[in-house]
């Protein structure tokens, strides 16, 4: 591991090798690299901190961190005009609770972040690889019962067939 400007970095491709990748390969590489950087820096990072340490560029870093946050792969916290990104560490896969809907696959995991332990629900289109997550949400254990009650009411009152 390399330590630069107080950020721990995983091994990375050399810049010229990265630049020779196709657009989709660059996107996948950036996504996986940023997930790994967050895992190694559990105290949270800002886009400028990461930008000074790696060669991806501010806009690309921000874009991929926003995707990670929308998938619940990381936690984004706003502190004034600063956005901090923290890892959501997978504690346990809950594959036995995964579900297949008509169009989507729903997967469950226990994750931990700076606020504690949560259940993470992620969705991806049916038939897509596990890395093709489209969205995600984390839920605190103490409100899961209330979430279930609300979803049941929503189904009864608004999704009648």
Boundary (domain end) residue, out of 34, 63, 87: 87
Q: Does 83 lie in the same domain as 13?
A: yes
Confidence at residue 130, expressed as pLDDT on a 0 to 100 scale: 62
The count of other CB atoms within 10 Å of the CB of residue 45 is 26
Q: Domain containing 81 — which CATH number?
A: 1.10.10.10
Q: Does 31 lie in the same domain as 80?
A: yes
- Residue in 48, 20, 49, 50 with CA at minimum distance from that of residue 33: 50
**Parent domain of 5:** 1-87
Q: What is the pLDDT of residues 117-134, one digit of tens each?
A: 999 999 999 876 666 899
- pTM of the predicted model as reported, rounded to 2 decimal places: 0.89
Q: Is 57 left (phi over 0), alpha (psi -120 to 50) or beta?
A: left
Q: Does 10 lie in the same domain as 65?
A: yes
Q: What is the pLDDT of residues 56-90, one digit of tens each?
A: 999 999 999 999 999 999 999 999 999 999 999 99
Report strand pairing: 99-100 vs 104-113.
Answer: antiparallel
Q: Does 94 lie in the same domain as 127?
A: yes
| Average pLDDT of the chain, as a whole number | 93
Boundary (domain end) residue, out of 41, 59, 87: 87
What percent of the chain is modeled with pLDDT above 70?
94
Q: Is the pLDDT score of 2 beyond 50?
A: no
Confidence at residue 6, expressed as pLDDT on a 0 to 100 scale: 83
Q: Is 1 exposed, middle or buried (0-12, 13-18, 19+ CB in 10 A)?
A: exposed
Q: Is the pLDDT score of 4 beyond 50?
A: no
In contact, 9 and 53? CB cutoff 8 Å:
yes
Q: Domain containing 105 — which CATH number?
A: 3.10.450
């Amino acid at each position: 591991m390399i330590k630069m400007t107080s950020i721990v970095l995983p091994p990375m491709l050399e810049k010229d090798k990265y630049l020779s990748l196709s657009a989709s390969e660059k996107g996948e590489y950036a996504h996986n690299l940023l997930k790994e950087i967050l895992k190694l820096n559990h105290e949270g990072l800002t886009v400028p901190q990461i930008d000074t340490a790696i060669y991806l560029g501010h806009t690309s870093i921000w874009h991929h961190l926003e995707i990670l946050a929308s998938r619940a792969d990381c936690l984004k916290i706003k502190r004034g005009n600063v956005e901090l990104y923290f890892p959501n560490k997978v504690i346990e896969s809950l594959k036995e609770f995964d579900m297949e809907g008509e169009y989507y696959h729903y997967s469950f995991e226990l994750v931990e972040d700076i606020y504690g332990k949560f259940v993470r629900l992620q969705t991806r289109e049916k038939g897509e690889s596990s890395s093709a997550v489209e969205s995600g949400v984390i839920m605190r254990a103490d409100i899961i019962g209330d979430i279930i009650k609300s979803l049941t009411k929503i189904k009864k009152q608004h999704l009648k067939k």
